[in-house]
Structure 1
Amino acid sequence: MGTTAVILGGGYAGVMAANRLAGSGRPGLDVVLATPDQRFVERIRLHEYAAGTRPDPTVDFDSLLHPAVHRMTGRAVRILPAERTVQLADGRTLAYDYLVYAVGSAAAAAPDGAVRMEQLQGATAARGQLAALPAGARVAVVGGGLTAVETAAETARTHGRLRVSLHSAEPIAPRLGTQTRRSVEKSLRRAGMELHSGTPVRADGDVRTSLGADVVLWCAGFAVPGLAAASGLPVNDGGRLCLDSTLRVLGQDRIYGAGDAGVIDDPFYDYLRMCCAAALPMGADAAGNILRSLDGEAGVRHDSGFRGLCISLGRSDGAVQFLTADDSPTRFHLHGRTAAVQKEIICRMTLRWIRGEAKRSGAYTWPTGPQAATTAAPAPMTRS
């Protein structure tokens, strides 16, 4: 009798997990990828698309997925662990033996008058609105993280006729080292931007009025779908699915999580932020532990870390912050055209890593994480 592994979500984590499973060549293993998206969305390119410097931030799934992956277009609305089934919005039901929860994230709720930038639909709306603005119109980007910084820089450098400002309740790019952050701020000002930090943006009424802007691009924080909570699975205060160190869902032996929608319920892993650099290793490890379970072996503890953070500040400017494994900034950084080239290389490599995994399961590798003070042996896999 065969085994069916269902992956929910066609983003970085989900596609990586599907390729590692399908590429293993395991006899009798069927791999199903269920996603509402018709095409793979390069979310790390959405700021370029919104500004008008990239014609299309999507890629055909067939060019990324292993041929044995069966892709289904559909949105999951409920998981029934006791029955090992997933209900889709169109009424269909998917049965699974193993499940990978990789439904990703979106922008946090935005006030009236703002365009959310974390999904293709919002980026498409922003692209149209920016292109239609007359010279001298004001564009306000809200948020202090890297998505906001990249969106603001790309917009300012592409649309020199517009007046662009960046608004953040906290310091801009707070994860960066002091010197790197200063160089980023200088680059943004050179692009003609106004920087406003330390003052929260009022969310009552139409935010365009409070900011005096014609268009407001909202890049303030992430939120995750409510699927896990609606399915009675354990979630944290932010709605993210709670996982153990092997990426299994707490209290479940057949459900794994990966990417932005999951969080390892251990303070040691607090350094793992919501980003594609964390999603890809998590997707690969979740798939790897499913394969180990099929062999009756114990799952391995997830181990991934960071080495650098690349920031786009336009097509010919950027910054690279070198990091320790736990995402802490070092005193080393690059900026300018060299950093912009490095950023572009990393963006291109992301799809190459996914395609490489489709050609050979296990091809993708990643930097190890910080050393744990003590490492408990993972709980043995049980099969029910």
Structure 2
Amino acid sequence: MGTTAVILGGGYAGVMAANRLAGSGRPGLDVVLVTPEPRFVERIRLHEYTAGTCADATVDFDSILHPGVCRISGRAERILSGERTVHLTGGAEAGYDYLVYAVGSAAGTAPDGALRIEQLDGAAAARRELAALPAGARVAVVGGGLTAVETAAEAAGSYAHIRVSLHSAGPIVPRLGARTRRSVEKSLRRAGVEVHSGTPVRADEDMHASLGADVVLWCAGFGVPGLAAASGLPVDDDGRLRVDPGLRVRGQDRIYGAGDAAVIDEPLYDYLRMCCAAALPMGADAAGNILRALDGEAGVRHDSGFRGLCISLGRSDGAVQFLSADDSPTRFHLHGRTAAVQKEIICRMTLRWIRGEAKRSGAYTWPTGPQAGRATTAGPVPMTRS
């Protein structure tokens, strides 16, 4: 009798998990990817797409998925863990033996009149708005994270006839070292971006009037789908699925979580943030532990870390902050055209890593995290079969 592994979500974590499972060549293992998106969205390029410097931020799923993966177009509405079934939109169902919850992050709420660009439809709407602006129009970008900074720089570089401002309640990209942050702020101003850090923007005000802007791009944080909570699975205060260090839901030996919509509920992993660099290793490890469970072996603790943070500041400028494994900044950084090239290399390599996993399961590797030395003491996470 065969085994079915269902992956919910066609983003970085979900596709990586699907490829690792399908590429393993395990006899009798069927891999099903459920996603509402018709094409894979390169979310790390949505700021480019918004500003019109990238013609298309999507690629065909067929170009990155292992041919053995069965893709279902749909959105999960409820997970019935007791029945090992997922209810999909339109009344369809998908039964599973193992499930990977990788539904990713969603655009958070935004004030009336403001646009969000964290999803493709929002980025497309913002792209149309920016392209239609007349000379002298003003664009306000709200937020201090990577999405906000990169969008502001990209828009200013792409549309020299408009005025772009960046509004952040605190320092921009807080995880940067002080020297790197100063260099990023200089680059933004050199690109024509008015930087207003330490200036909170009230969401209950008229955004256009209070910011003096014709277009407001709201880039202040992510949300996550409510699927896990609606399904009675354990979630944190932000609605992210709680998993153990083996990426398995406690008390659910058949459900694993990976990517932005999952959080490892152990303090040692507090350094992991919602990003592509964390999603890919989590997806690979979730799949790896399913394969170990199929072999009757114990799963392993997730172990991933950071090495650098690449920031795009337009087509010919950028910054690279070198990081310790726990995401804290070191004193080393790159700036300028060299950093911009490095950022582009990383973006291109992301698809290569995914495609490489489709060709050979286990091909993708990643940097270890700060908890690596404690893994032996903590011991592996036991997995059971039933």
TM-score by structure 1 length? 0.99
Q: What's the C-alpha RMSD, in Å, of the aligned pairs?
A: 0.8
Q: CA separation in 1, counterparts of 2:339 and 2:150? A: 13
In the TM superposition, residue 380 of structure 1 has moved relative to its aligned partner by 1.9
Contact 1:17–1:284, Cα closer than 8 Å, also in 2 = yes
- What amino acid is aligned across from residue 247 of structure 1 in structure 2? L
- What amino acid is aligned across from residue 330 of structure 2 in structure 1? T
Q: CA separation in 1, counterparts of 2:373 and 2:362? A: 28
In the TM superposition, residue 107 of structure 1 has moved relative to its aligned partner by 2.5
Contact 2:300–2:381, Cα closer than 8 Å, also in 1 = no
Q: CA separation in 1, counterparts of 2:247 and 2:140? A: 39
Is 1:176 the counterpart of 2:160 in the alignment?
no
- In the alignment, what sits opposite 1:292? 292
- In the alignment, what sits opposite 1:241? 241
- Regions of 4+ moved over 2 Å: 371-375
Contact 1:319–1:334, Cα closer than 8 Å, also in 2 = yes
Structure-2 change in CA distance of 1:11 and 1:175 (3 Å): same
SS of the residue aligned with 1:291?
helix
- What amino acid is aligned across from residue 116 of structure 2 in structure 1? R
Is 1:355 the counterpart of 2:339 in the alignment?
no
1:216-231 matches, within 5 Å, as 216-231=216-231
Q: CA separation in 2, counterparts of 1:267 and 1:210? A: 40
In the TM superposition, residue 154 of structure 1 has moved relative to its aligned partner by 0.1
Aligned residues: 384
In the TM superposition, residue 206 of structure 1 has moved relative to its aligned partner by 3.1
In the TM superposition, residue 87 of structure 1 has moved relative to its aligned partner by 0.3
- In the alignment, what sits opposite 1:367? 367
Q: CA separation in 1, counterparts of 2:381 and 2:368? A: 21
In the TM superposition, residue 379 of structure 1 has moved relative to its aligned partner by 3.6
- In the alignment, what sits opposite 1:40? 40
1:142-291 matches, within 5 Å, as 142-291=142-291
Contact 2:301–2:381, Cα closer than 8 Å, also in 1 = no
Q: CA separation in 2, counterparts of 1:224 and 1:216? A: 22
Deviations 1:246-287 (A, max 9, x none): 000122100000000000000110010000000000000000
- What amino acid is aligned across from residue 188 of structure 2 in structure 1? L
Contact 2:245–2:381, Cα closer than 8 Å, also in 1 = no
In the TM superposition, residue 372 of structure 1 has moved relative to its aligned partner by 5.5
Contact 2:268–2:371, Cα closer than 8 Å, also in 1 = no
In the TM superposition, residue 234 of structure 1 has moved relative to its aligned partner by 0.1
Contact 1:268–1:372, Cα closer than 8 Å, also in 2 = no
Q: CA separation in 2, counterparts of 1:219 and 1:353? A: 28
In the TM superposition, residue 19 of structure 1 has moved relative to its aligned partner by 0.1
In the TM superposition, residue 205 of structure 1 has moved relative to its aligned partner by 4.1
TM-score by structure 2 length? 0.98
- In the alignment, what sits opposite 2:380? 378
Task: Percent identity, please.
Answer: 83
In the TM superposition, residue 3 of structure 1 has moved relative to its aligned partner by 0.1
- In the alignment, what sits opposite 1:341? 341
In the TM superposition, residue 108 of structure 1 has moved relative to its aligned partner by 1.7
Q: CA separation in 1, counterparts of 2:385 and 2:123? A: 43
SS of the residue aligned with 2:18?
helix
- In the alignment, what sits opposite 1:325? 325
In the TM superposition, residue 209 of structure 1 has moved relative to its aligned partner by 1.8
Deviations 1:33-59 (A, max 9, x none): 000000000000000000000110000
Q: CA separation in 2, counterparts of 1:268 and 1:108? A: 27
SS of the residue aligned with 1:330?
strand
In the TM superposition, residue 16 of structure 1 has moved relative to its aligned partner by 0.2
1:88-167 matches, within 5 Å, as 88-167=88-167
- What amino acid is aligned across from residue 72 of structure 1 in structure 2? I
Q: CA separation in 1, counterparts of 2:102 and 2:48? A: 25
Q: CA separation in 2, counterparts of 1:98 and 1:341? A: 40
Contact 1:228–1:241, Cα closer than 8 Å, also in 2 = yes
